[in-house]
Chains A and B, each alone.
Chain A
Amino acid sequence: MDTQAHELAPDAQAIFLLCGRLGDNDSDVKPLTRNQYNEVANWLHNNDMRPADLLESSGREQLSVFGEDGKITETRLHTLLDRGTALAMAVEEWTNKGGWILTRSDEDYPTRFRRRLKHLAPPVLYGIGDQSLLEFGGASMVGSRDSDDAALSFIRDLARRCADQGIAVVSGGARGVDQASMDAALESGGMVVGALANGLAKTARKKKYREAITEERLTLVSAYHPDSGFQVWKAMDRNKHIYALSDGAIVAHSAHGSGGTWSGATENLDHNWVPLSVLAEPPIPEGNQKLIEKGGRPIDRRLLREGVDLKEWLFTKASLTELRSSIGALTESGETKRDKQEAEDQKSPSKGTVFSIDDIREYLREHGSGDAELFPFVWPVLKLLLGETRRYQYVKEYFEDLRPSQAQDWLMMAAERGLAVREEGPVRYSLPQPQEGATNSDGKGSSEKVDEESPSDDSVRSNGEKEGSEVGIVNSSNSSRSLFDEANE
């Protein structure tokens, strides 16, 4: 190898000098925050400069335009750029332990960060393990620290299934759901990406993780110094890294309105980064319920059934076109069962009759099936109800004793299986039109069009302003685009 991990490219050196936490932590001069760096990057771009130009005296002279007012002063920038020796020592120290450092200018910087997070992408990323795992995507799994046993057990099973199906698990390394998902996937021989908020160095040397890293099945990344301790803001900030590195997220357990899981999941919904699935096994926690109402898709143990192609379920949204293949997969592998069920359907309560769930349960008990098998029996009823566009409350009221989530669950199932179409604002369901493909492509049938490559400029910009109160220079949509492609353009 020509260049080694400790030899950063000049652009990366400059970014690391400006943003990296290096030696002296008591220093008055703090490294630039992400938003502050975005400003500098904008300025560089507008002046046809690259970060590396700041290592040359001609480039340094340009910094005088920053003056001495405000947070990003000329003096501060010079002081940060003078930390060359500290940079060399810090990079050497971390790479000596097996790690690497990527900055937004590096070609190997994770594509998913660049594309999805854009100016929210961390300027500096520490990591250890095979970098290519970061391009692998996967299923992110999150949940609050006080997740109950059911949630933990679900997430472990799901992680194992992901491992079996070659889907990487992405999580945050925190206690509870995070660790449960990562450990279960690793134990099953799967691949895992951990996006940590703190303690990267210590985590990496734990036996279970160390060995997986050596086997190139685990990659840990963190936007924060490898020795940094836990801080709430980092944990909050880190959530977006988990979502962004995955192709679909699963919330196992969330509080409502507060906590890291809630804020991470709603942030993901707001930015439309990846499809969000929410565990909806009763009793459904309030947070989960609200996330579903905000657009999360309920899931339960049925996902773990044999033959379910998790990629199709987790990484796509409930649009008909995209679910074709998954329906196919389901049908194919569950064929005999399904045939049987359809035969049973003949004996089920007659169509069009109002009946209670208890009736169904009783019926099922007699026929020796569990709760999980309920949907096929309910569907004929739902199908009738969905002759018109309905909200789930209607369905709930139709059945005498149904939990709200149960109705929602079934409707979601119907949508996921392509049997019904889900529309938003307010959420409502109907039977699909015959030419559903056309409906989808012109955006009328479903507002959930998958377009990760270009979330609307509006959402990006508004969030940027919300996040960084200190942003002074306005991100025109033109210049904000440039921030994330320093290496590629």
Chain B
Amino acid sequence: MNIPMDRKSKALHYLRQALDENRATFRDGQWEAVRDLVANQETLLLVRRTGWGKSMVYFLATRLLRDKGAGPTILISPLLSLMRNQIEAASRIGVEAETINSSNRDEWDRIEREVRQGDVDILLISPERLSNEGFRNRVLDYVADRVGLFVVDEAHCISDWGHDFRPDYQRITRILQALPSNVPALATTATANDRVVEDVAEQIGPGVTVSRGPLARSSLRLQNVKMESPTDRMAWLAEHVPDIPGSGIIYALTVRDARRISEWLQLQGIDAPSYSGRRDSDEREALEEALLDNDVKALVATVALGMGFDKPDLGFVIHYQRPGSVVHYYQQVGRAGRDGNTAYGVLLHGAEDDDIIDYFIRTSFPAEAHVDEVLGALEEADRGLKVREIEKRVNLRRGDIRHVLKLLSVRGRSPVEKENKRWYRTPVPYSPNREKVEAIKQLRREEQREMQEYMEHDECLMRFLQRALDDPHAEDCRICASCVGEPLIPESVPEDLAIEAARFLQRSEVPIEPRKQWPWTDAFSTYGWENDGLTMEDHLQAEEGRALSIWGDAGWGQLVKKGKYHDGRFDDRLVEAAKQMIERRWGPDPFPRWVTCVPSNNNPHLVPEFAQRLAEALNLEFIPCVRKVAENRPQKEMENKEQQTRNLDGVFDIEERGVRDEPALLVDDTVDSRWTLTVVTALLKEAGAGPVYPFALAKTTPTST
């Protein structure tokens, strides 16, 4: 096609304006990408390193298309918003971007108005929003009727073979496939190995043009540090992070670890707040800003910090645990040193890494039995079911139910559909894709093995990573610990700091928040509590309690697990630790005057025996006045609220003459949903007990059981 010269010069003019640089020129392939979109309405897959200027392609294309009278660009991205510098660049050429997502619902009206007035040139929405019914009706329909350019960011998420597969991208893929040829489309990604690029291109369809450039070269210096014990790693961080120049990211595999490391580092005077998907979007944005501006030394983050985050002068990336694959690792560590200045990438790894990765692999797909149960429930419900109603019918965690529904609903032809918060069975037969699931799990295990090899690798580390990512130009970096032949950062840990870290971990008790709501009006009908309004009457509520540890965790968690499943008796050290925690750190006020405990039929002595010793240590009387009057299934097998509450109804009884009208400590071994403690507390209080303080040796979490 013959492109008039003036379009290219116009584009160049816009480029310079956007970058605010009079001599800026196009990067290799940048103009061609813009041209293919604007003049030829092509579908383009752009594989370029972060910082290359992928966003500039859609800014310029949007500008040129808008000049021709086209409608706004829609940008599907898992990011919360464009980076500040991107927004500024876009706005210099009159391209106004707006984000619409679940966290800014109060702005939808304004944005919708501006969209209708033609004032919005790029609308950024998340993949999840795209399939949200209410959002589609309110905002998206208007835009969808006139989209001038369809952009999908982080397109590697399309590939279910990829390291970063997101279910909602399956829907996006189909929308891309269904687009008529008169809508130009652009898919972009920074990280992708051959397999993923091929898969993404194939899924987008035969008409796609792939534009691919070399991987990033960075001045990153890599080092691996093997430390089995978490205390050593915590101590290492506290000792060495302050000495590394600049600011950086410390990655942990779980939210809990990220929080705990952050807490520890802050105690050691290092400004390193934690960052995870659990924080709301405003908090996350503020934390990202703080890191960009070097206002903090580091963010202790889960993988939630990543995509779209671009800080060229990031000084270091340290992994507290080993990621699941080389692709993950390279993507994360590669954020450091993009500006060409020296930066460090350190992989610490410990004994628990494989357990955590195994858990992720195991739970990446729902069990077939779970799918069958959920579908079975929906098949019988002509009027559909809310998730909560499904919980009543199947004994699955709410999270698992949602996971099943999500994965089913993004299939090309889905056996379920959602309308007004209710889920329905569709006339689409369901057949599990066993081979594919197994193949993907197998791939994940291979990736895990490759990462294990990397840990043990004694030649150039950078070369290893590049080779694994299909880079044909891989060569020795000469700057990593292997190439240099000695640690870049000392692997030593001062003993006193290690002891302090150990103490810190042993002090990681967690609060048990009292429940204040009944789950539904007909819960615990045997006990006849008034729960019409769902709010629990004050005189039945517990006080805030404490769990001494996290089940199976460093600190006391391991010892609790050993006591329950191996020794059949909790170690005396746990009595001592509990006493110290209760007396010195927790200090409930008014302090308990007597101790009781939750009985169990499975193991009738374990908890009472511990409670008795704890009572003795605290110098209090132990009164086992709670009885179990009905058999039930182990509460830990109850996977959701409905099952948990139903399983407890009418199960406990109180020997009233034992109950004292004084503050009580209620002891159990583990706490999860808190319903057992809630029910026993309410019964105790009905029987005349004073304030009740729940105590458990360990809090269990989905990953720990």
**B residues within 8 A CB of A23?**
136, 140-142, 144-145
**B residues within 8 A CB of A56?**
181-182
Whether a CB of chain A sits under 8 angstroms from the CB of B393 is no
**Which residues of A from 55 to 112 have beta carbons under 8 Å from B?**
55-57, 60, 79, 81-89, 91-92, 95-98
**A residues within 8 A CB of B150?**
85
Q: How far, in angstroms, from A140 to B388 measured CA to CA in the complex?
A: 43
Q: Judging by beta carbons under 8 Å apart, are A84 and B426 in contact?
A: no
Residue from A97, A129, A209 in contact with B417 in the complex, judged by beta carbons closer than 8 Å: A97
Whether a CB of chain A sits under 8 angstroms from the CB of B425 is yes
Residue from A5, A24, A81, A92 in contact with B182 in the complex, judged by beta carbons closer than 8 Å: A81
Q: How far, in angstroms, from A388 to B653 measured CA to CA in the complex?
A: 98
Whether a CB of chain A sits under 8 angstroms from the CB of B382 is yes
In the complex, identify which listed stretch (B46-54, B170-178, B576-584, B677-685) lies at the interface while the others stay far away.
B170-178
Whether a CB of chain A sits under 8 angstroms from the CB of B510 is no
Q: Judging by beta carbons under 8 Å apart, are A25 and B141 in contact?
A: yes
Q: How far, in angstroms, from A204 to B426 measured CA to CA in the complex?
A: 7
Whether a CB of chain B sits under 8 angstroms from the CB of A17 is yes
Closest chain B residue to A88 by CB distance? Answer: B178
Closest chain A residue to B70 by CB distance? Answer: A82
Whether a CB of chain A sits under 8 angstroms from the CB of B477 is no
Residue from B141, B147, B180, B411 in contact with A10 in the complex, judged by beta carbons closer than 8 Å: B180
Asked if A85 meets B147 with Cβ closer than 8 Å, knowing A91-B178, A98-B427, the reply is: yes
Q: Judging by beta carbons under 8 Å apart, are B181 and A89 in contact?
A: no
**B residues within 8 A CB of A10?**
180-181
Whether a CB of chain B sits under 8 angstroms from the CB of A367 is no
**Which residues of A from 92 to 140 have beta carbons under 8 Å from B?**
92, 95-98, 128-129
**B residues within 8 A CB of A85?**
74, 143-145, 147, 150, 175, 179, 183
Q: How far, in angstroms, from A104 to B701 measured CA to CA in the complex?
A: 57
Q: Judging by beta carbons under 8 Å apart, are B412 and A4 in contact?
A: yes
Q: How far is the CB of B120 from chain A (nearest CB, A)?
A: 15
Q: Judging by beta carbons under 8 Å apart, are B425 and A210 in contact?
A: yes
Whether a CB of chain B sits under 8 angstroms from the CB of A22 is yes
Q: Judging by beta carbons under 8 Å apart, are A205 and B426 in contact?
A: yes
Whether a CB of chain A sits under 8 angstroms from the CB of B3 is no
Whether a CB of chain A sits under 8 angstroms from the CB of B414 is yes
Q: How far is the CB of A101 from chain B (nearest CB, A)?
A: 10
Asked if A95 meets B382 with Cβ closer than 8 Å, knowing A24-B145, A84-B182, A86-B145, the reply is: no
Q: Judging by beta carbons under 8 Å apart, are B414 and A97 in contact?
A: yes
Q: Judging by beta carbons under 8 Å apart, are A205 and B145 in contact?
A: no
Q: How far is the CB of A25 from chain B (nearest CB, A)?
A: 7
Whether a CB of chain A sits under 8 angstroms from the CB of B286 is no
**A residues within 8 A CB of B74?**
85
Q: Judging by beta carbons under 8 Å apart, are B427 and A7 in contact?
A: no
**Which residues of A from 1 to 23 have beta carbons under 8 Å from B?**
4-8, 10, 13-14, 17, 22-23
Q: Judging by beta carbons under 8 Å apart, are B182 and A55 in contact?
A: yes
**B residues within 8 A CB of A214?**
427-429
Whether a CB of chain B sits under 8 angstroms from the CB of A299 is no
Q: How far, in angstroms, from A17 to B409 measured CA to CA in the complex?
A: 26
Q: Judging by beta carbons under 8 Å apart, are B171 and A96 in contact?
A: yes
Asked if A82 meets B426 with Cβ closer than 8 Å, knowing A4-B412, A23-B141, A24-B141, the reply is: no
Whether a CB of chain B sits under 8 angstroms from the CB of A27 is yes
The SS class assigned to the A binding surface is helix
**A residues within 8 A CB of B179?**
84-85, 87-88
Q: How far is the CB of B156 from chain A (nearest CB, A)?
A: 21
Residue from the set A27, A86, A204 with the largest chain B CB neighbour count within 10 Å: A86
Q: How far, in angstroms, from A159 to B36 measured CA to CA in the complex?
A: 58
Q: How far is the CB of A58 from chain B (nearest CB, A)?
A: 12
Whether a CB of chain B sits under 8 angstroms from the CB of A207 is yes
Q: How far, in angstroms, from A205 to B178 measured CA to CA in the complex?
A: 24
Residue from the set B136, B147, B150, B380 with the largest chain A CB neighbour count within 10 Å: B147
A interface, size bucket: 35 or more
Whether a CB of chain B sits under 8 angstroms from the CB of A206 is yes
**Which residues of B from 652 to 671 have beta carbons under 8 Å from A?**
none
**B residues within 8 A CB of A411?**
none
Q: What are the interface flags for A126-161 relative to B under an 8 Å C-beta threshold, 1 for contact and 0 otherwise?
A: 001100000000000000000000000000000000
Residue from A17, A60, A83, A207 in contact with B144 in the complex, judged by beta carbons closer than 8 Å: A83
**B residues within 8 A CB of A6?**
174, 177-178, 412
Q: How far, in angstroms, from A213 to B413 measured CA to CA in the complex?
A: 14
Residue from the set A8, A96, A128, A129 with the largest chain B CB neighbour count within 10 Å: A96
**A residues within 8 A CB of B171?**
92, 96
Q: Judging by beta carbons under 8 Å apart, are B426 and A17 in contact?
A: no
Q: Judging by beta carbons under 8 Å apart, are B427 and A17 in contact?
A: no
Q: How far, in angstroms, from A86 to B139 measured CA to CA in the complex?
A: 12
Q: Judging by beta carbons under 8 Å apart, are B140 and A84 in contact?
A: no
Q: How far is the CB of B223 from chain A (nearest CB, A)?
A: 47
Q: How far, in angstroms, from A10 to B176 measured CA to CA in the complex?
A: 14
Q: Judging by beta carbons under 8 Å apart, are A89 and B144 in contact?
A: yes
Q: Judging by beta carbons under 8 Å apart, are A22 and B145 in contact?
A: yes
Q: Judging by beta carbons under 8 Å apart, are A97 and B181 in contact?
A: no
Whether a CB of chain A sits under 8 angstroms from the CB of B263 is no
Q: What are the interface flags for B117-152 relative to A under an 8 Å C-beta threshold, 1 for contact and 0 otherwise?
A: 000000000000010000010001111111100100
**A residues within 8 A CB of B147?**
84-86
Q: Judging by beta carbons under 8 Å apart, are A95 and B141 in contact?
A: no
Residue from A88, A89, A211, A213 in contact with B180 in the complex, judged by beta carbons closer than 8 Å: A88
**A residues within 8 A CB of B411?**
96
Q: Judging by beta carbons under 8 Å apart, are B145 and A83 in contact?
A: yes
Whether a CB of chain A sits under 8 angstroms from the CB of B691 is no
Q: How far is the CB of A351 from chain B (nearest CB, A)?
A: 60
Whether a CB of chain A sits under 8 angstroms from the CB of B694 is no
Q: Judging by beta carbons under 8 Å apart, are B413 and A5 in contact?
A: yes
Q: How far, in angstroms, from A83 to B205 measured CA to CA in the complex?
A: 20
**A residues within 8 A CB of B140?**
23, 89
**B residues within 8 A CB of A128?**
427
**Which residues of A from 23 to 45 have beta carbons under 8 Å from B?**
23-25, 27
Q: Judging by beta carbons under 8 Å apart, are B183 and A205 in contact?
A: no
**A residues within 8 A CB of B417?**
96-97, 205
Q: How far, in angstroms, from A166 to B333 measured CA to CA in the complex?
A: 67
Q: Judging by beta carbons under 8 Å apart, are A13 and B180 in contact?
A: yes
Q: How far, in angstroms, from A60 to B41 measured CA to CA in the complex?
A: 14
Residue from B136, B379, B426 in contact with A89 in the complex, judged by beta carbons closer than 8 Å: B136
Whether a CB of chain A sits under 8 angstroms from the CB of B264 is no
Q: How far is the CB of B147 from chain A (nearest CB, A)?
A: 4
**A residues within 8 A CB of B41?**
57
Q: How far is the CB of B401 from chain A (nearest CB, A)?
A: 19
Q: How far, in angstroms, from A85 to B180 measured CA to CA in the complex?
A: 8
Q: Judging by beta carbons under 8 Å apart, are A8 and B182 in contact?
A: no
**A residues within 8 A CB of B71?**
82
Q: Judging by beta carbons under 8 Å apart, are A207 and B427 in contact?
A: no
Q: How far is the CB of B456 from chain A (nearest CB, A)?
A: 45
Asked if A88 meets B427 with Cβ closer than 8 Å, knowing A55-B180, A83-B145, A98-B414, the reply is: no
**A residues within 8 A CB of B142?**
23-24, 27
Q: How far, in angstroms, from A60 to B68 measured CA to CA in the complex?
A: 15
Q: How far is the CB of B668 from chain A (nearest CB, A)?
A: 44
Asked if A55 meets B178 with Cβ closer than 8 Å, knowing A23-B144, A85-B147, A209-B427, the reply is: no
Interface residues of A (CB under 8 A from B): 4-8, 10, 13-14, 17, 22-25, 27, 55-57, 60, 79, 81-89, 91-92, 95-98, 128-129, 204-207, 209-211, 213-214
- Given A7-B177, A85-B144, A88-B177, 12 additional A-B pairs, CB 8 A: A6-B178, A23-B136, A25-B141, A60-B182, A83-B144, A84-B147, A88-B180, A97-B417, A98-B414, A98-B426, A205-B382, A214-B429
Interface residues of B (CB under 8 A from A): 41, 70-71, 74, 130, 136, 140-147, 150, 171, 174-183, 205, 379-380, 382, 409, 411-414, 417, 424-429
A sample of 18 inter-chain contacts (CB < 8 A) reads: A7-B178, A10-B181, A23-B141, A23-B144, A25-B141, A27-B142, A81-B182, A82-B71, A85-B74, A85-B183, A92-B174, A96-B174, A96-B412, A205-B417, A207-B379, A210-B425, A211-B427, A214-B427
| Across the A-B interface, the 9 shortest Cβ-Cβ residue pairs | A23-B141, A84-B183, A213-B427, A85-B147, A88-B178, A86-B144, A98-B428, A13-B180, A24-B141
